[in-house]
Amino acid sequence: MFLKLLLSFMLMQHAASKNYEFVFEGFDSANMSLNGVAGITGDGLLKLTNRTSMAIGHAFYSQSLRFKNSSEGNVLSFSTTFVCAIVSEIPDFSGHGMAFVISPTKFIDHGTQPSQYLGLFNLTNDGLPSNRVLAVELDTTSNKEFNDIDNNHVGIDINSVKSNKSRPAAYYDNGNGGSLKSLNLSGGGLMKVWVEYNGEEKQLDVTLSPADIPRPTRPLLSSSVDLSPVFREHMYVGFSSSTGTLAVLHYVLGWSFRVNGQASELELSRLPSLPRPAAASEPSDRTTIIGVLSITVFVVFVFIVGAVALVLRRIKYAEILEDWEQEYGPHRFSFKDLFRATKGFKEKELLGSGGFGKVYRGVLPSSHVEVAVKKISHGSKQGMKEFVAEIVSLGRLRHRNLVQLLGYCRRKGELLLVYDYMFNGSLDRFLFGHKAILSWSQRFRIIKGVASGLLYLHEEWEQIVLHRDIKASNVLLDREFNGRLGDFGLARLYDHGSDPQTTFVVGTLGYIAPELTTTGKATTSTDVFAFGAFLLEVTCGRRPILLLEGSTDGERLVDWVIQCWKKGSILDARDPVLGNEYVKEELELVMKLGLLCSHHTSAARPSMRQVMQVLDGDATLPEANLAGVILSATHSETSYLSYPSNPYRAFPNSTISVEESLLSGGR
């Protein structure tokens, strides 16, 4: 009996530690589970994404593999190699890349997001140890929020798209003294990738090269990492990819994988070929159409009715498309898609309206992604080309505290801007409306989030972005009440180190810095001034200009807070609905920081980097500048309600319209 048990145990151990291998030279008969837009072409290509924007593609080997001999054991050695290609249809532009993935699930329903999350995680679960995911990313977009090193790199990710280790995409050339040569991931060429884990030494190596050269002897990435706390006993292996506003094709031509051994090499000659670029469609054969129409009068009648319907349909969905817009194709939405997404711009889909136009909720028919569609009237072509160019540039902004501008559409006298949809709407509805009360901890997190997003706009992106309309109504809240700065309709871009140009004064009264009325020049400091008004707005639960009863005149919120401070009770200015449920030190800090950002002299205002340092507790408020706030409030004669030339004096919360400021020569 003992011998039988011993023999059975030995057989089980042998079965658990046996080499498991599969090789796919094409995927036409592969045992794969597909999800999202992933599919297998008739030629046997695994196509992770198609031309759908904001989409996810998952492709996993259908069976789970055993990576441990027991649930508490060490991860076994494994090896994989695959041949892939990332094909961008627009030169010098790419999407977000793809990843080889080992996961406890096949991602059939994982709440994942497209774009910068690569179909792996989402805003709330990124970085959680419970994900138990290893990914090797081929990343073709630089996302500062994830500390990406550039827009063409390879990274080792554990439970997060923030790479544990990454390097610019390259390979060591065996035939040239082992020199390092760069490799363009999204150039459309075939690439071969090797991922190997040594279970005894606990080392993960990643190697890549063009597919037509021998394997480099030296890996690009080597990382000492113990995967045992990450992996479960059984895991799934596969690929994940996603698109953003720019649709890019991600292909896998062949794949081999092995546990406890070296994966088999792939021969290019036995793999399917990449498809050729799609040729322009041929014009319809009019002779055939005429021949068919001549068969019966009935067919002629049907054709006429159909043609009339088609003309009416084209009129219904007609939009403006000029030659210069061809280069912005991936950022341009068709009016038909937006019409369907918003159910014909029905009133029940209306999210809000004002001087800027109307905003509708929509669900894109192709990707089922929720969006917000803003309709703005415009009657002039002046500056439109430059305006659209800036929209496309702003569409490349990537930060967790910014509402992403996905693209645009032009139709007759309308400009339609498409944004991420924010579930909880605008912040001002919670501050001044009848929504649930926001706690102080929620408000403080929102403030820090908006500050982080504004720092990214001012200093961390490739250009300087001036928002020019920072206020509570332009801060939107997602499902978790994270604050995201939105509405870039008044934004301006200029290069780092250059001088911003004079333009018309735009923005919302109460948030406009004093120097704007004299110089007409928006700067990062004028954005900081508006941010200061925003800080007081959130902490006090009051708008920047307090209207006096029975009058169009009023008092500035900043003056009222200063009066409370001079009396030694600055906390009396807090939002009454907070009661005593707040952190005294944080609330006082934010109020004083709001006053400092609202300083009459622009040079005395902090930069957004200094603001973040104060909010994070890494710096203290400069007492000398704070003292200057009181002096400037006492002696300044440039209160916003005393601008005699201001035609909007009686409307302290009005915003100068987009078409007036942007589309009529104001840029």
Residues with a known catalytic role: 469
Cβ atoms < 10 Å from Cβ of 585: 9
Q: How far is CA 292 from CA 193, 304, 619, in A?
A: 54, 13, 80
Name the one residue in this structure whose structure tokens are 């301006």: 492
Q: Which of 598, 612, 611, 604 is nearest to 640 (CA)?
A: 598
Q: Which of 81, 59, 77, 58 is nearest to 67 (CA)?
A: 77
Whether the CB-CB separation of 397 and 465 falls below 8 Å is answered with yes
Task: Please tell me the distance from the alpha carbon of residue 572 to that of residue 539, in angstroms, as a whole number.
Answer: 11
Task: Please tell me the distance from the alpha carbon of residue 9 to that of residue 6, in angstroms, as a whole number.
Answer: 5
**Burial zone of 624 (CB within 10 Å; 0-12 exposed, 13-18 middle, 19+ buried):** exposed
Q: How far is CA 497 from CA 463, 464, 494, in A?
A: 10, 9, 9
Cβ atoms < 10 Å from Cβ of 289: 11
Whether the CB-CB separation of 415 and 378 falls below 8 Å is answered with yes
Q: Where are the beta strands (DSSP E) in 346-448?
A: 350-354, 357-363, 370-377, 405-411, 414-420
Give the DSSP per-residue string, 48-105: ---S-SS-EEEEEESS-EE--SSTTSPPPPEEEEEEEEEE-SSTT-----EEEEEESS
The one-character DSSP state at 456 is: I
Cβ atoms < 10 Å from Cβ of 518: 9
Rounded to the nearest 10 degrees, how much is the dihedral formed by the CA atoms of 494, 500, 503, 504? 90
- The distance in angstroms from the start CA to the end CA of the chain is 89
